[in-house]
Chains A and B, each alone.
Chain A
Amino acid sequence: MRILLAEDDTNISMIAKVALEKVGGHEVVAVLDGGQAIAQIESSDFDLILLDGMMPVKDGLTVCREVKTGAKKNIPIIFLSAKSQDSDISEGLNAGAIGYIQKPFDPTKLSEEIDKILNESGVAA
C-alpha cells in the first residue's frame, strides 16, 4: 500500500515511517506540513493518507476537507493526532476521515490498527 504520511514532528514521522515500512511492509512518503501534503496528493497517487492534526501551513482538518472536495476524494484518510477530546474526533470524522488514531500510538501495532480501520470502513486494504 502506498501511504502519504503528513506529520510535522520529524521524530514521530520517522518512527511511523519505519513502523509502516518494516512492520506493515508499506511504501511511505513522508511530508512535514499540510502544504506539501496537498502538493504530493495532486502530483502522485496514494492508497491512504495519514494526517497529523496540528501542522504548519495547513492543519490536518483543512487538508482533509480540501482532499474530500477535490478530484482525489476517494483516497481514505485517517487522522493521527494528539488531540483526544470527543469533539476533536467527531470533527475529524465529519470532515470525511474514516478513522482517528490517537497519539501516543504503539508503532508496532500501527499497521494492524490501520488495517482494522480500513476493514471496518469497508475500504479494501
Chain B
Amino acid sequence: MSPIQFRISLVILLVMAVSGTSFGVAVYNFLQVKSIHEDIRTSYLVRNKVDSIYIRKDRKNITNELQAIRESLEPEERSLALSDIIQSYTSNSWSLLKRRIKHFEKVEAKYIEFLLPKAEYLEKNILYYFLISSITFILGMFFLREYVAKAVFEPLLRVTTKMMDFLNGKYSYKFEVPPSNELGDLQSTFNSMAQRVLHNMEELEHLDRAKSEFLNIASHELRTPMTSIKGSLGLLTSGALGDLDPEVQNMIGIAESETDRLIRLINEILDLAKIEARKMPMKLSWNRLDEVIQESVNGLNGLCKSSGVSISCANLPDYEVNVDRDRIQQVITNLLSNAIKYSPKGKAVEVTVEQDGPGPLFIGIRDYGKGIHPDEQAQIFEKFRQATNSDNPLVKGTGLGLAIAKAIVEEHLGHLGVQSDIGEGSTFYFTLPNWRELSNNESQESQKEAA
C-alpha cells in the first residue's frame, strides 16, 4: 500500500478501534443500568403484591402469582424470604406471616440499597465512555482532515500550478526531487512527461531549422544556375550577339521556354514549401479589392490576346480587404489564367464579388469551358494534378498553381473551392473573411477621380 493511503487507513483504523470500543462499553453499561432499573421495579411490584395479601380474597390466584414471582427472584435470600411468606399464607399462620413479610421487606430494602450505587456507578461510566468515544472520533477526523489537506491537497495544488506554468510556456520548470509517495509519483510522471515534450519540441525546432536552411539553400543554389542559363539564352535569342541560323534560333527558343517553365516550377515549389512550412509571413494591409483584381487582369492582357478570351470584371463593389496584396494577386492571376486556358476561343471569363451578410466575401472566377468531372474536382487542388480535358495547347502549367492558390487563401483564413458541371463551365471561388465596405466619402472621391 502506498504511504499516504497507508497513513490515512491507519488513522481511520485507530479512531475506529478507540472510539468504537468506548462506544461499545458505554452501550453495554447502559444495558446493565437498564436491567438494574428493571430489578428495582420488580422489587416494588412484589412488595405491593405482598402488601395486598390482606385485602384480596382470591387466595388461589395470589398464591400462584407469588409462586411465579418467587422463581425469578435472585439472589436466593430473596426467593427464600418469599417462599416463607407463601408457606405461612397457605397454612394460615397469620402471626408468622406478619413477621415473615417484615423480614421480606427488609431483604428487599437491602437488595435495593445494594443496586442503587451500582447503577450510579454504571451511569457515570456511560458518560465517561461516551465522552471518550466522541472526543476520539472528533479529534481523529480533525487530524485526518489536516493530514489530507497537508499531504494531499497542498501538494496537488502545487502540482496544478506548475502544470499551468508549463502549459503557459514556462518550459524550464522541473520539480524538486519528488517525495516517495503518490504525489511524488505524480510529480515524477509529470517530470518525465515534460521532458518528453521538451525533447519533442527541441526535435521539432531542429527539424524546423533544417527545413528553413534547406529552403534557403535550395532557393539560392537552384536559382543561381537557372539565372545563368536563362541569361545566356536570353542574350543569344535577343540577337545582341549576332544573327543566328533559323534552326539554331528554334532550338535555343525551345531551351529558353523550357528554362522559363523550369524557373516557374522551382519558384512555385519553393513558394509552396515556404507557405506550408509557415516561412512566408503574409504582409497584411487594407487594399481596394477592385484594384487588386484589375491589376491581375491587366497582367494577363497578353494571354487574353493570344488565346482570344476576354475577361469581364465590370461593376465590382467598393470593398476593401485586409490581405497580402501580392499574394492575393497571385491567387487571382492563377485562377484567371487557368480559366483562360480552359476557355474556348471568343468566350469571356467573368469575375464576380459577392457577399452574404456579415460573412466572408466570395470572389468567383467563372469560365465557359467544358467543366470538370466531379471525380476530378477534389484532385485538381492537389500538387502536380491537372484536369485532362483541355483542347488548348497553351495549357502547360506546372500543376502547382491551384495548390499554391489554396495555400495562400488558407493563410488568409479563407477557403478555395470549385463549382462545376460538365458542359456548363466552372466557377472557382475563394473567400476572404477580413473585409469592409469603403466609407461613403472615400468611394465618392474615388468616383470623382474616375470621372
Q: Total interface residues on B, using CB and 8 Å?
A: 16
**Residue A9 at the B interface, CB < 8 A?**
yes
One of A11, A23, A106 near B228 (C-beta < 8 A): A11
Whether B223 pairs with A82 at a CB distance below 8 angstroms is yes
CB within 8 Å of A: which B220-245 residues:
220, 223-228, 230-232, 234-235, 238, 240-241
Closest residue of B by beta carbon distance from A86? B283
Closest residue of B by beta carbon distance from A11? B228
CB within 8 Å of B: which A94-108 residues:
103-108
CB within 8 Å of B: which A28-50 residues:
none
Q: What does the 1/0 interface line of A9-26 toward B look like (CB < 8 Å)? A: 101100110110011000
Closest residue of A by beta carbon distance from B219? A82
Whether A18 pairs with B224 at a CB distance below 8 angstroms is no
Whether A18 pairs with B241 at a CB distance below 8 angstroms is yes
- Assuming A22-B240, A23-B240, is B224 touching A82 (CB within 8 A)? yes
In the bound complex, CA of A82 to CA of B220 (Å): 8
Whether B223 pairs with A104 at a CB distance below 8 angstroms is yes
Chain A residues lying within 8 Å of B232, measured Cβ to Cβ, are: 11, 15, 107
In the bound complex, CA of A103 to CA of B230 (Å): 12
In the bound complex, CA of A106 to CA of B223 (Å): 14
Expressed in whole angstroms, the minimum distance between the Cβ of A52 and any Cβ of chain B is: 11
Chain B residues lying within 8 Å of A105, measured Cβ to Cβ, are: 227, 231
- Assuming A82-B220, A108-B234, A108-B235, is B240 touching A19 (CB within 8 A)? yes
One of B220, B224, B225, B231 near A107 (C-beta < 8 A): B231
**On chain A, which size bracket covers the interface?**
10 to 19
Interface secondary structure of A, over-half rule: helix
Whether A19 pairs with B220 at a CB distance below 8 angstroms is no
Chain A residues lying within 8 Å of B234, measured Cβ to Cβ, are: 106-108
Whether A15 pairs with B228 at a CB distance below 8 angstroms is yes
Chain B residues lying within 8 Å of A103, measured Cβ to Cβ, are: 223, 227
Closest residue of A by beta carbon distance from B225? A11
Closest residue of A by beta carbon distance from B220? A82
- Assuming A15-B231, A104-B230, is B224 touching A9 (CB within 8 A)? yes
Whether A12 pairs with B224 at a CB distance below 8 angstroms is yes
CB within 8 Å of A: which B335-368 residues:
none
- Assuming A9-B228, A23-B240, A104-B230, is B235 touching A18 (CB within 8 A)? yes
Chain A residues lying within 8 Å of B224, measured Cβ to Cβ, are: 9, 12, 82
Whether B238 pairs with A23 at a CB distance below 8 angstroms is yes
In the bound complex, CA of A105 to CA of B226 (Å): 11
Expressed in whole angstroms, the minimum distance between the Cβ of B231 and any Cβ of chain A is: 4
In the bound complex, CA of A15 to CA of B235 (Å): 8
Expressed in whole angstroms, the minimum distance between the Cβ of A113 and any Cβ of chain B is: 13
In the bound complex, CA of A82 to CA of B226 (Å): 13
Whether B226 pairs with A104 at a CB distance below 8 angstroms is yes
Chain B residues lying within 8 Å of A9, measured Cβ to Cβ, are: 224, 228
Whether A108 pairs with B240 at a CB distance below 8 angstroms is yes
Chain A residues lying within 8 Å of B223, measured Cβ to Cβ, are: 82, 103-104
Chain B residues lying within 8 Å of A15, measured Cβ to Cβ, are: 228, 231-232, 235
A selection of 26 A-B contacts at a CB cut-off of 8 Å is A9-B224, A12-B227, A12-B228, A15-B228, A15-B231, A15-B232, A15-B235, A18-B240, A19-B235, A19-B240, A22-B240, A22-B241, A23-B235, A23-B240, A82-B220, A104-B227, A104-B230, A105-B227, A105-B231, A106-B234, A107-B231, A107-B232, A107-B235, A108-B234, A108-B238, A108-B240
5 further A-B contacts with Cβ under 8 Å, apart from A22-B235, A107-B232, are A9-B224, A11-B232, A15-B231, A82-B223, A107-B234
- Chain A residues within 8 Å of B, Cβ to Cβ: 9, 11-12, 15-16, 18-19, 22-23, 82, 103-108
